Amino acid sequence: MMIGAMLMMVGGKDLRIVVMTPTPQMHCQNCENKIKGQMRFEAGVVKVETSVEHQTVTITYNPKKTNVEQLQAAMKRIGYDTKVTSDRKVERTKKNK
């Protein structure tokens, strides 16, 4: 349902999800808030999720407006090097086609 709502917000465009691990590691809620607060303003970013427990930053983005390299550069500007662990298309179901 959530993905369906996101697709409606961006006009049903194909979206991608990239999962990154940041260096230095996130240690607290402030680290998560810093990443979420800055990355949400990057062009093409639809959603940002972070996990201190798993040390991941998951970004849903519109590939027509940005790409993984630009997202990594944005993370670098706020103080984090990143390693991409996954970059895939958002799976679309019949409900959100």
Per-residue pLDDT of the chain (97 residues; tens, 9 = 90+): 444 444 445 455 799 999 999 999 999 999 999 999 999 999 999 999 999 999 999 999 999 999 999 999 999 999 999 999 999 999 776 555 5
What does the alpha-carbon distance between residue 44 and residue 21 come to, in Å, rounded to a whole number? 20
Are 6 and 16 in contact, with CB atoms under 8 Å apart?
A: no
User: Which amino acid, one-letter code, is at 48?
Assistant: V
- Which residue, chain included where needed, has tokens 């996990």? 51
Coil vs helix vs strand at 26: coil
Answer yes or no: pTM beyond 0.95. no
What does the alpha-carbon distance between residue 51 and residue 44 come to, in Å, rounded to a whole number? 21
